[in-house]
Amino acid sequence: MVHAQNVRVRTTELVAIDERRLLRRLNELSQRGAAPEGGITRLLYTPAWVSAMELASGWMKDAGLLVRRDAVGNVWGRVEGSRGGRAIVSGSHVDTVRCGGALDGALGVVAAVEAVTSLVAAFGRPTRILECVAICEEEGSRFATNLWGARAIADRLEPDEAARVRDGDGVTLAEAMRGVGLDPARAAQAVRRDIDAFVELHVEQGPVLDERGERLGVVRVVAGTAHLEVTVRGEPDHAGAAAMERRHDALLGASAMVLAVAEAAREAGPPAVATVGTISVEPSQVNVVPGLARFTVDARHSEERARAELVAEITRRCKVVARERDLAVEVRALRDRPAVTLSERVGDVLRRACLAAGVTPRDMTSGAGHDAQILSVAASAAMLFVPSIGGRSHRGDEATAAEDVVLGTRVLATALRELAYEAPR
Ligand code: GLV
Ligand code: MN
Ligand code: MN
């Protein structure tokens, strides 16, 4: 797919990369965790994840980088700068959602390795420390937490989190860490306080660039996310003997609440969004009226006040439904990630690099969450978006045109060149 370009005067030269290696590696990575039911399932600390991390680590070693795995399993490839200073870092996450796509996270990892490899090959040792990183986890697909890798780097892990948080089989994060040779007691050693800039290339995951025929976006704001758990309690009953009008069916109540959640976001208007992504019932038997239903809500908005109002409205509507149906409801906050404004300075570096490619980038707000939003507390963080065909993401058929993957990586490399091959701060 070739998009129209807004051509401007070229101010810098676009850095060359090995396009075939980049595309080949993306394809290779997509084999690690390829799910029989379609898409890719690469969950934290599972064999597919270990295999993907080994692959990324091998690429970094092939480039002659100094490679290390940190205390939570993030893998770093580093080249020392001739004049030291704080590090310039690029990367993204290796994990996926269940049956996810080949680019969400993976593109940012493969592109960062390619950019650093190509820069060092072409220009030699940088003046600044230059690193690529494969971040261990962002999605929250296995454990009841998310952004684990970036939060470890940014010193944002919660006390006892690894011992407390479990996956669907009851395995704690700490146990899973031990399973891949990591010591949960040392998780705090992953903290970095010496990063100057973090730059993440990512697929947009929405339709804005693709629909407009634009090729690059620079993110200004990443929307905030609230995760809630709603528990609805009614009474279990006999599916044959209990008449319809005397039941207190928790699932019927939850169903009305799910509709009310979506309605609250629709009425709030864009960019408000709310999703019920999981639901379970108890006792979960074909001939028993559900006595309990539990579902999660993911509610997002790029403005903090509007996000708080959305959460309050969702809570209010769930309570109204519960009252109407004579059910009990409890709404519990699981986690809260505030909206983040990314670095103007590093964003400008990306904008200049886009112009070097002859493309005026679109200013964007990301509805999706990203490692950069967490790393913005530890560094000046910026993000570059390339189009997602049809806006598709978090699904197996997520795709971006090869020429956009290449362009995004060249622009990333160009930005890293400006950041790492100049005087230290
Ligand atoms: C991850 O992709 C998220 O936005 O939750
Ligand atoms: Mn992602
Ligand atoms: Mn994702």
Domain end among 285, 313, 337: 337
Whether 255 and 323 share a structural domain:
yes
CA of 357 to the centre of ligand 1 (A): 29
Whether 396 and 318 share a structural domain:
no
SS3 for 218-249 is EEEEECEEEEEEEEEECCCEECCCCCHHHCCC
Instruction: Read off the tokens for 276.
Output: 């019920």
Smallest CA separation from ligand 1 atom 3, residue: 369
> Quick one: which atom of ligand 1 is closest to the CA of 368?
4
d(CA 196, CA 105): 21
Say if residues 115 and 409 touch (Cβ distance below 8 Å). yes
Whether 55 and 192 share a structural domain:
yes
Please count the structural domains in the chain: 2
Examine residue 293 and state whether it is found in any structural domain, yes or no. yes
The pLDDT score that the predictor gives to residue 1 is 29
Whether 212 and 193 share a structural domain:
yes
The pLDDT score that the predictor gives to residue 200 is 99
Residues paired with residue 200 on neighbouring β-strands, in sequence order: 383
Whether 260 and 331 share a structural domain:
yes
**Phi, psi dihedral angles at 387 (to 5 degrees):** -65, 150
CA of 256 to the centre of ligand 3 (A): 28
Output the CA torsion sign for 344, 349, 350, 352.
positive
Residue 396 DSSP SS3: coil
d(CA 123, CA 169): 49
- Any atom of ligand 1 within 6 Å of the Cβ of 73: no
Which ligand is nearest the CA of 298, by number?
Answer: 1
* CATH (domain of 194): 3.40.630.10
pTM: 0.94
- Any atom of ligand 1 within 6 Å of the Cβ of 368: yes
- Residue 315 structural domain: 224-337
| Token pair 């399993």 in the structure block, residue | 73
Examine residue 425 and state whether it is found in any structural domain, yes or no. no
d(CA 372, CA 378): 10
Which ligand is nearest the CA of 394, by number?
Answer: 3
**Ligand 1: which of 40, 43, 103, 139 to mutate, judged by most atoms within 8 Å of the beta carbon?**
139
> Quick one: which atom of ligand 1 is closest to the CA of 104?
2
Whether 57 and 190 share a structural domain:
yes
**Ligand 1: which of 92, 148, 200, 370 to mutate, judged by most atoms within 8 Å of the beta carbon?**
370
CA of 141 to the centre of ligand 3 (A): 9
Whether 170 and 302 share a structural domain:
no
d(CA 367, CA 357): 26
- Any atom of ligand 1 within 6 Å of the Cβ of 408: no
d(CA 270, CA 215): 23
List of the chain residues with pLDDT < 70 = 1-11, 423-425
CA of 280 to the centre of ligand 3 (A): 23
- Any atom of ligand 1 within 6 Å of the Cβ of 369: yes
**Phi, psi dihedral angles at 234 (to 5 degrees):** -125, -130
CA of 368 to the centre of ligand 1 (A): 5
Whether 78 and 217 share a structural domain:
yes
Whether 17 and 110 share a structural domain:
yes
Whether 24 and 155 share a structural domain:
yes
Residue 73 DSSP SS3: coil
> Quick one: which atom of ligand 1 is closest to the CA of 146?
5
Residue 419 DSSP SS3: helix
> Quick one: which atom of ligand 1 is closest to the CA of 393?
2
Domain end among 337, 355, 389: 337
Domain end among 314, 337, 360: 337
Whether 52 and 139 share a structural domain:
yes
CA of 398 to the centre of ligand 2 (A): 12
Ranges of beta strands (E only) in 57-120 are: 66-69, 75-79, 87-93
Question: 160: buried, middle or exposed (CB in 10 Å: 19+, 13-18, 0-12)?
Answer: exposed
- Any atom of ligand 1 within 6 Å of the Cβ of 210: no
Count of CA atoms in the C-beta half-sphere (13 A) of 114: 30
> Quick one: which atom of ligand 1 is closest to the CA of 300?
4
Single-letter amino acid code for the residue at 267: E
Query: Following CA atoms 251, 255, 260, 265 in sequence, which dihedral angle do they give, to the nearest 10 degrees?
Result: 110
Say if residues 116 and 416 touch (Cβ distance below 8 Å). yes
* CATH (domain of 307): 3.30.70.360
Query: pLDDT tens digits, residue range 158-184?
Result: 999 999 999 999 999 999 999 999 999
Which ligand is nearest the CA of 94, by number?
Answer: 2
Q: Among residues 397, 402, 311, which one has the least CA distance to residue 40?
A: 397
Examine residue 165 and state whether it is found in any structural domain, yes or no. yes
Which ligand is nearest the CA of 372, by number?
Answer: 2
Examine residue 107 and state whether it is found in any structural domain, yes or no. yes
Whether 208 and 261 share a structural domain:
no
CA of 23 to the centre of ligand 3 (A): 20
- Any atom of ligand 1 within 6 Å of the Cβ of 139: yes
Give the helix/strand (H/E) hosting 328.
Answer: strand 328-337
Say if residues 200 and 90 touch (Cβ distance below 8 Å). yes
CA of 311 to the centre of ligand 3 (A): 22
